[in-house]
Structure 1
Amino acid sequence: MLKLLALLLTVSPAKAEIKALDQLNINSYSVELPQPEFSLYKAFEDLDTNLSGENLFQYLHKRTEIKNPITYTGSSNIMFSSVDNFTCENGKQGVFAFYSLICVNGYTSEGADYKEKGDQNGDGFAGDFMNVEHIWPQSFFNKNLPMRADLHHLRPTFSKPNGYRGTAPFYYVSSYVYATNSGAKFDGEYFEPPDAVKGDVARSLLYFVVRYYDRQIKPADYYDFFVSKINTYLQWNRQDPPDSYEKERNDRIYVYQGNRNPFVDDYTLADRIGEKIFSSH
């Protein structure tokens, strides 16, 4: 990955105070964020190194089941207050706007509290606020749970790039009708994420298909949205491998949901499954 740590001064320490949310009716408590022993090599230590293709796909499908389902409101609040709340380059707590590559200071659970100062992302809209982006559009599965609240495909974004992306497939864009100074672009048909998060997007999509292929998640034009672009997503996954930021995010989600994105733990698993198997689902 083009290191997000260049934009975040530090990744928060492994031991972190996480305040539970009133909306979840849970008292405040402290947890210890998982250490590397929760990485794929431990969580999936029984994984046969020769496993590949459909067998690997089905193995990961079973092993990625969410152990602790969360409500959508709870998931959104957790994302802003904990899962995506790191230390910004100025040394203060904040949330990283996914498509804009900007860290906005704050510590609350409400996206509206994280506001852009002027037009920081250069998209022509000043004072934007954050909301929740579903990498796999929620309208494709009728906003059903657990898909809607699965943190592995949710990201905090400013509302304008989120709105322009809508349900557009992720792909390369040349001429565009909307863009940010981070490299996010929209041409009216496709949305291209910045290079720094192309791999993150790909791993979210691949995870979503592995976890939920047996649910009703497909749009009318599933081929254009996903199948025809699998090769590109596999390339993005290779070219922009997980960095420390994405790996710790995976650890934090594990604390709440009890499952992990295996492609963040080991991005080579995607190629071991392969384009043909992904496209068959």
Structure 2
Amino acid sequence: MKRFTALLSLTILTAASFVSAADNSSPALDLLKESAAGFSFEAAPAVQPPLLSRLFELPESDVNGEELFSYLHDATAPSDRAVLSYDASRKFMYSKADNTGCDNGPGIKTFYSLVCVPGSFSSGNSYHENGDSNGDGVPGDFINAEHIWPQGYFNSALPMVADLHHLAPTFSVPNGRRGNLKFAKVTGPVYRTSAGSMLGKEGFEPTDESKGNVARAMLYFMVRYHDKSIRQGMDYNSFWNATVPLLLKWNTQDQPDAAERRRNDLVEEFQGNRNPFIDHPELADRIGEEVFRSH
């Protein structure tokens, strides 16, 4: 594949530097100490793909969408060889990556409901809804992990199932209501949360505050895993091709906030790669609707 070394300046981190014994503060190493069984290691290839750095320089404007898509596919591959377990990723999500705090201490702001549940637990089952604060008629819910790209479409396979760039903490009921449905603009909701997430015949519409996050997670997932088996049992034209214009719109309308950028930093520390559409949302339009659909 054509190299674009003149287009970007990247920080290259090797597996040795990422998992060095001297780095006692690494989140991945902390979890490794807790559960060594949660990790497996693959042999490093002769040439490792570059790790996308937050300090990279944007590609020059004459790079076409397909070239940029291919470059970002390579650039978002972790340079270390550690494959995190789904259990380890969820623990990190609940206890650190998405634990942005509530009014009086640590806690998680639920993705589709915007309800903050206090706690610093590493298990979603330990976070309980206070009454029906979600406003969906189901009180006492708990938090679990939503896969923005539904895990049923890739048979819950690693590394996709454990990739934190498309995982989010949600109450179990809206998570279950969304299921494997596509994201859409809903006109006649049959289910909704007090924050405005809705289920309808068109699909599932997240609350306005989460729409950009959803879009960037979906676009990242396609760039990173388009060459994997991620379309099992899916109506691809409906789920992806027809949804791309809406995702690009949400990405533009709901720009990354401080919490999303902080999360990108933490996920990079943990699994060794970044979501480039959080660092530079404009890259999505640079790639363009046609290229996203072609994959």
Asked if Structure 1 and Structure 2 have the same fold, meaning a TM-score greater than 0.5 normalized by the shorter chain, the answer is: yes
Q: Deviations over 1:88-141 (max 9, x none)?
A: 1x1310111000001111101000111100000100000100000000000101
What is the aligned partner in structure 2 of residue 232 from structure 1? 246
1:75 paired to 2:75:
no
Identity of matched residues, %: 48
Q: Secondary structure at the match of 1:157?
A: strand
Deviation at 1:220, TM superposition (A): 2.8
How many Å separate the matches in 2 of 1:40 and 1:49?
19
Find the partner of 1:220 among 234, 238, 243: 234
In structure 2, what residue type is equivalent to 1:64? Answer: T
Q: Verify: 1:277 aligned to 2:287, yes or no.
A: no
Of 195, 213, 220, the residue aligned with 1:200 is 213
After superposition, the C-alpha distances for 1:141-173 in whole angstroms (9 at most, x for unaligned) are 111100000000000000000000000000111
**TM-score, normalisation: structure 1:** 0.85
Residue 65 (structure 2) pairs with residue 50 (structure 1): no
Task: Verify the 8 A CA contact 1:40 1:266 in the aligned structure 2.
Answer: no
Tell me what 1:247 maps to: 261
Q: Distance in 1 between matches of 2:179 and 2:202?
A: 10
Matched positions, count: 253
Provide the secondary structure at the position in 2 that maps to 1:234: helix
The answer to whether the 8 A contact 2:52-2:75 is kept is no
Residue type of the partner of 1:272?
R
Cα displacement (A) at 1:50: 3.4
2:137 corresponds, among 124, 143, 146, to 124
In 2, Cα distance between equivalents of 1:269 and 1:52: 11
Report the alpha carbon displacement of residue 51 of structure 1 after superposing the two structures with TM: 2.5
Alignment CA distance shift 1:184-1:46 (3 Å): closer
Consecutive aligned runs of 4 or more in structure 1 exceeding 4 Å deviation: 16-19, 38-41
Aligned-residue offset at 1:176: 1.4
Alignment of 1:161-176 (within 5 A): 161-176=174-189
1:1-55 CA-to-partner distances (Å, cap 9, x unmatched) read xxxxxxxxxxxxxxx99693323479xxxxxxxxxxx98551x337434323000
Change (3 A) 1:203 1:244: same
Distance (Å, rounded) in 2 between the aligned partners of 1:173 and 1:130: 24
* Structure 2 segments unaligned to the other structure (5+ residues): 1-24, 39-50
Aligned CA RMSD, in angstroms, stands at: 2.0
2:73·2:224 contact (CA, 8 Å) conserved in 1?
yes
**Aligned with 1:131: secondary structure?**
strand
Indicate yes or no: 2:150 matched with 1:137: yes
Q: Structure 2 CA distance, aligned partners of 1:199 and 1:209?
A: 15
Corresponding residue SS for 2:117? strand
3-state SS of paired residue (1:86):
coil
Aligned equivalent of 1:29: none
Q: Determine which structure has greater relative contact order: mean sequence separation of CA pairs < 8 Å that are 6+ residues apart, divided by chain length.
A: 1
Instruction: Classify 1:83/1:119 alpha carbon distance in 2 versus 1 (closer, same or farther; 3 Å).
Output: same
Structure with the greater alpha carbon radius of gyration: 2
Does structure 2 retain, via aligned residues, the 8 Å contact 1:39–1:265? no
Tell me the secondary structure at the aligned position of residue 225 of structure 1. helix
8 Å Cα contact 2:113-2:195 kept in structure 1? yes
CA apart distance, 1:209? 0.3
User: Which structure 1 residue ranges, 5 or more long, are not aligned?
Assistant: 1-15, 27-37
SS at match of 2:145: strand
The secondary structure found in structure 2 opposite 1:20 is helix
* Secondary structure at the counterpart of residue 144 of structure 2: strand
Q: Which of 243, 262, 269 pairs up with 2:276?
A: 262
> Which residue identity is paired with 1:263?
F
In 2, the alpha carbon distance for the partners of 1:230 and 1:274 equals: 9
Distance 1:20 1:99 in 2: 29
Contact 2:52/2:76 (<8 A) preserved: no
- Contact residue 40 and residue 265 of structure 1 kept, 8 A: no
